[in-house]
Amino acid sequence: MRENTSTEWVNKEVDSEGNFNRQKNQFETPFGEGEGKLPVEPGRYRLLWAPVCPWAHRSVIVRRLLGLEDVISLGTADPKRPDVPRSDWAFTLDEGDVDPVLGIHYISEAYLAADPDYTGRFTVPALVDIPSGKVVNNDYFNLTLYFETAWKPYHKEGAPDLYPEDLREEIDKLNDIIFREVNNGVYKAGFARKQKAYDRAYNMVFNRLDWLEERLANQRYLFGDRLTESDVRLYVTLVRFDCAYYPVFRLNKKLLRDYPNLWAYARDLYQTPGFGDTTNFAAIKKHYHIDCCPSNEFAIVPNGPDESLWLHHTEEKNYLENKESGE
């Protein structure tokens, strides 16, 4: 069987009952004013990501939606993990195999610059302080919220309010549900090490998808006609579902395409600038089918599903418009 060291870290995050429990983030200093907070300074930070990672993808979507591209630069790692005895990411897509701004080959270099004793996984997204070359924040759960609040003075004109004050309490509650039962739920199924753990995660994911399908029956977004942070969080899992989670993580009860409302919703988002243009299906399939699938002995990446299915047709646009008008 093909050697695969990239999934060995999973065993370190699995309990005695076979449940996958994701590691906690170490670099969680918030952005803002005052002592103990990271200063909000344009050009000071570089966002490191890999297009395969849903946690990193949502930070890139929000960065694009809010117009922060010229404020926070972006470094992109290879979707295929490097052949090293740790869970790392490499900049082998760049000239000389180094990030052109930070001058590093591996993301781990920025982590170890911040803490030489760091022993956790080297994850994305990671926000790096360019002058020092150190990771200062890898808090994937809250990073987009900082982009939406602390970085608001630098939003482009007409940027959507993804975290409106009148909905924040409801958004926070829904975000927590989406994280536990969908975003992280698929990983709890895929990385389960015992049947009962897998069964629990499998049922949890599909029960929540059924609930979300019903929620979207008569509205365009999760909060009616308002695009919010919650939509970004749900999208990054939905867009990976049929090509990665269904086959690799054994979440094979239904395809996303079997949910009429979720499927139309996901395609609507895909056609929204910031979503589809930051989605790389080739990279996603390469990572999940090779790095996350040790049984794929010959490292074969599937050609499907057909990406053109994500393009809306006229009747689908009318369907979504009718939802908004209540018809």
**Average confidence (pLDDT) over 287-302:** 84
The residue ranking higher by pLDDT, 9 or 92, is 92
Under the banding of pLDDT at 50, 70 and 90, the label for residue 224 is: very high
Q: CB neighbours of 90 closer than 8 A, spacing ≥ 6?
A: 77, 78, 81, 82, 97, 105, 106, 107
Q: How far apart are CA 82 and CA 89, in angstroms?
A: 6
pTM of the model: 0.93
According to the model, what pLDDT value does residue 317 have?
47
Query: Which of the residue ranges 87-101, 120-134, 210-224, 300-314 would you say has the lowest mean pLDDT?
Result: 300-314
Query: Which of the residue ranges 6-10, 50-54, 62-66, 253-257 would you say has the lowest mean pLDDT?
Result: 6-10
Sheet holding 126-129, edge to edge: 73-76, 45-49, 126-129, 134-137
| Residue 323 clears pLDDT 90, i.e. is over it | no
Closest CA to 220 of 123, 292, 321: 321
pLDDT in tens, 127-155: 999 999 999 999 999 999 999 999 999 99
Q: Is 221 a residue of the active site?
A: no
pLDDT in tens, 238-248: 999 999 999 99
| Residue 91 clears pLDDT 50, i.e. is over it | yes
According to the model, what pLDDT value does residue 194 have?
96
Q: What is the mean pLDDT of the chain?
A: 93
* 8-154 is classed CATH 3.40.30.10: yes
pLDDT in tens, 38-81: 999 999 999 999 999 999 999 999 999 999 999 999 999 999 98
**Average confidence (pLDDT) over 5-30:** 84
Q: How far apart are CA 22 and CA 242, in angstroms?
A: 23
> Topology of 169-325 in CATH?
Glutathione S-transferase Yfyf (Class Pi); Chain A, domain 2 (1.20.1050)
3-state SS track over the chain: CCCCCCCHHHHHHECCCCCECCCCCCCECCECCCCCCECCCCCCEEEEECCCCHHHHHHHHHHHHHCCCCCCEEEECCCCCCCCCCCCCECCCCHHHCCCCCCCCECHHHHHHHCCCCCCCCCCCEEEECCCCEEEECCCCCHHHHHHCCCHHHCCCCCCCCCCHHHHHHHHHHHHHHHHHHHCHHHHHHCCCCHHHHHHHHHHHHHHHHHHHHHHHHCCECEECECCHHHHHHHHHHHHHHHHHHHHCCCCCCCHHHCHHHHHHHHHHHCCCCCHHHCCHHHHHHHHHHHCCCCCCCCCCCCCCCHHHHCCCHHHHHHHHHHHHCC
According to the model, what pLDDT value does residue 295 have?
77
Q: Range(s) for CATH 3.40.30.10 in the chain?
A: 8-154
According to the model, what pLDDT value does residue 314 have?
38
Under the banding of pLDDT at 50, 70 and 90, the label for residue 16 is: confident
Q: How far apart are CA 286 and CA 302, in angstroms?
A: 8
Pick the catalytic residue: 45, 53, 245, 246?
Answer: 53
Pick the catalytic residue: 106, 140, 146, 187?
Answer: 187
Q: Range(s) for CATH 1.20.1050.10 in the chain?
A: 169-325
Under the banding of pLDDT at 50, 70 and 90, the label for residue 322 is: low
Q: Is 53 a residue of the active site?
A: yes
| Residue whose token pair is 């009429």 | 260
According to the model, what pLDDT value does residue 320 have?
58
Query: Which of the residue ranges 29-43, 168-182, 307-321 would you say has the lowest mean pLDDT?
Result: 307-321
- Percentage with pLDDT > 70 across the chain: 93
